[in-house]
Structure 1
Amino acid sequence: MTGLLAALASAVVYGLGLAVEQRALHRCAAISVRRPLHLARVLFGNPRWLGGCALAAAGSVGLVVSLGLAPVSVVQPAFAGGISLTLLVVALLQRQRISRGELAALGAMPVALLLLALSLGPRDAAAGTTADLPLLLAVSAVTLVVCAGGMAVAGGGNAPAAVMGSAAGLAQGVAGLQGKGIGGLLADHGIVGAVGPVLLSPFPYLYALGWAVGIALFQTSMQRSRASVTAPAANVVGNVFMVVAGTAVFAESLPAEPLPLALRALGFALTLAVVALVHRAAGRVEEETARQRATALPAVS
């Protein structure tokens, strides 16, 4: 239960960071993954975006810790659902127009989190801390190649924001696998004792690579749309990837009893339903965002 609560707290911090980033992105020059130096200059020259990025980074650190405390099949859906819930609440507080699908998703996510919590038992609560390193490296390499293809398509300027968000989710999933590896070393060796093993492992370096690819795609997609639309796409795709790949790579077992297994499967399925509910609003939100940016920044190209 500690890992689940840590994941939820981290998700709230991460979601608030995304909300701050979104406000900064909607008020700055247009960015594109085809112009990485311009993208970096616009983002890192924006103090408000940097503040949001710091909050999101704090949430990511919390996720790494929680992945060392509970199974990935519990932590990752809870984190993804918590982010989506936070962003929809922020959108409501800002009086943005929310579709019925988004409202349904808002109601479904707490239920999904409750089911995941009920699926935890003393026999399966332990998290896997040791990765199958060859499998981890192979999965990471193949996924990043797929994401590189997504960046090439996105660079043409025709990819919808939700598609770019989904590609970002894969890259973030690769980073998440490395984060779980780091979390496992922290759980096994403690904070001080884990410094050497972490630096000698491939985890921090692959984490940085996955983060860099993911942030380029995600920030571009979020500028074109709203965080409550693009973040669920990224997080649910990353969620599926992390649960499937992480469970295999770290040899974590699912609940052995039928009822906890059914509860976890249903909770996981509800987090996937979020994408279908929210995605229906993606086109409308992207058009609204483009009109708002054209009005606010008529001179920006």
Structure 2
Amino acid sequence: MTTPRWLAGFGLILAGLAGQLVVLTRIPLTVAQPVFASGIVFLLLLSMTVLGERLTAREWTGLAGIAAGVVCVLASLDPRTDVPGTGGHAVRVLLVAAPSTLAGVAVFVTAARGRVRPRPAGDVPYGLAAGIVYGVAGMISKGLSASIDFHGPTAIAASVLASPYLYLLVPVTLTGFVVFQTALQRGRASIVAPVSTVVSTLYTVVAGTPMFGEHLPPDAADLTLRLTGLALIAAALFRLPHGDDASG
């Protein structure tokens, strides 16, 4: 964990987290999280070029579903009505975050003990475990973003350090990082990463939207696009784990 490559990767994760906090102050979770999920495209390309993994036709279809879902979500964005929430209470978030994190860890431990089917289905629980924990971190990040005062570096630092969400986010994020890194070592990146991404996205949207007082679009057309996009991304979760069943 002290190699330059690992440290560079960890630094990129921290930079991504900082960018995520800024984005969450400007758009609601039902838009932000699916857009974040589009990063899986880059990761899968790396899995092919760097790790030498070969995506099957089924996996390409799942990836296309994620891309189409993100497009639908972006098309549904209306700046007049899509206002990011600022509500939420740290204790209430903790009551949801603690058992959810433990559930993710339990799924990971079960997978590590070999109580799952052979690959590729055996890789799915690793992605599910990482996705749950990262989903919890996403929900907490929303709370932290809403509590930051962006009027200068001093105000940002002071508000972050004073926010109880910071002290919830750090242990959950570190837990998710360890689970995800271990999952990548034990399973296929092209299975673990998409499952983790979709699960974390859906968790954050479903748990975080009511938690922070956000709402779905009032316009019927925008609502249809938003829900269609989320449904396409969810469907990709069931498409990707069976990649070995098809050739590509």
TM-score under structure 1 length normalisation: 0.73
Q: Following TM superposition, by how much is the alpha carbon of 1:173 offset from its aligned partner in structure 2, in angstroms? A: 1.4
Conservation of the 8 A alpha-carbon contact between 2:107 and 2:128: no
2:160 pairs, out of 187, 194, 198, with: 198
Count matched residues: 240
Conservation of the 8 A alpha-carbon contact between 1:102 and 1:278: yes
Conservation of the 8 A alpha-carbon contact between 2:123 and 2:188: no
What residue is the counterpart of 1:87 in the other structure? 43
User: How do 1:110-121 and structure 2 match up within 5 A?
Assistant: 110-121=67-78
What residue is the counterpart of 2:55 in the other structure? 98
User: How do 1:160-179 and structure 2 match up within 5 A?
Assistant: 160-179=122-141
Unaligned runs of 5+ in 1: 1-43, 285-301
Q: Following TM superposition, by how much is the alpha carbon of 1:154 offset from its aligned partner in structure 2, in angstroms? A: 4.0
Q: Which amino acid aligns with 1:109?
A: I
Q: Following TM superposition, by how much is the alpha carbon of 1:120 offset from its aligned partner in structure 2, in angstroms? A: 0.8
Conservation of the 8 A alpha-carbon contact between 2:108 and 2:125: no
Give the 3 Å change call, closer, same or farther, for CA 151–251 of structure 1 in structure 2. same
Q: Following TM superposition, by how much is the alpha carbon of 1:265 offset from its aligned partner in structure 2, in angstroms? A: 0.3
What residue is the counterpart of 2:174 in the other structure? 212
Unaligned runs of 5+ in 2: 117-121
What residue is the counterpart of 1:280 in the other structure? 242
Identical residues among aligned pairs (%): 33
Deviates more, 1:157-166 or 1:219-228: 157-166
Q: Name the Cα RMSD after superposition.
A: 2.3
For 1:217-240, what per-residue CA distance to the aligned partner results, in whole angstroms no more than 9, with x for missing partners?
A: 111110122322211111111111
Give the 3 Å change call, closer, same or farther, for CA 126–192 of structure 1 in structure 2. farther
What residue is the counterpart of 1:256 in the other structure? 218
Q: Which structure would you say has the larger RCO, counting Cα contacts within 8 Å and 6 or more residues apart? A: 2
For 1:86-120, what per-residue CA distance to the aligned partner results, in whole angstroms no more than 9, with x for missing partners?
A: 12233444563211111112322332222111111
1:238 pairs, out of 188, 196, 200, with: 200
Q: Following TM superposition, by how much is the alpha carbon of 1:152 offset from its aligned partner in structure 2, in angstroms? A: 3.5
Give the 3 Å change call, closer, same or farther, for CA 125–188 of structure 1 in structure 2. farther
Give the 3 Å change call, closer, same or farther, for CA 141–163 of structure 1 in structure 2. same
Q: Which amino acid aligns with 1:247?
A: T
Give me the whole-angstrom Cα distance separating, in 1, the residues matched to 2:97 and 2:181. Answer: 21
Conservation of the 8 A alpha-carbon contact between 1:129 and 1:188: no
User: How do 1:62-77 and structure 2 match up within 5 A?
Assistant: 62-77=19-34
Q: Secondary structure at the match of 1:280?
A: helix
For 1:7-65, what per-residue CA distance to the aligned partner results, in whole angstroms no more than 9, with x for missing partners?
A: xxxxxxxxxxxxxxxxxxxxxxxxxxxxxxxxxxxxx1333222222223322222222
Residue 51 in 1 paired to residue 8 in 2? Answer: yes
Q: Secondary structure at the match of 1:194?
A: helix
What residue is the counterpart of 1:122 in the other structure? 79
Give me the whole-angstrom Cα distance separating, in 2, the residues matched to 1:261 and 1:51. Answer: 40
Give the 3 Å change call, closer, same or farther, for CA 201–283 of structure 1 in structure 2. farther
TM-score under structure 2 length normalisation: 0.87
Give me the whole-angstrom Cα distance separating, in 2, the residues matched to 1:187 and 1:196. Answer: 8
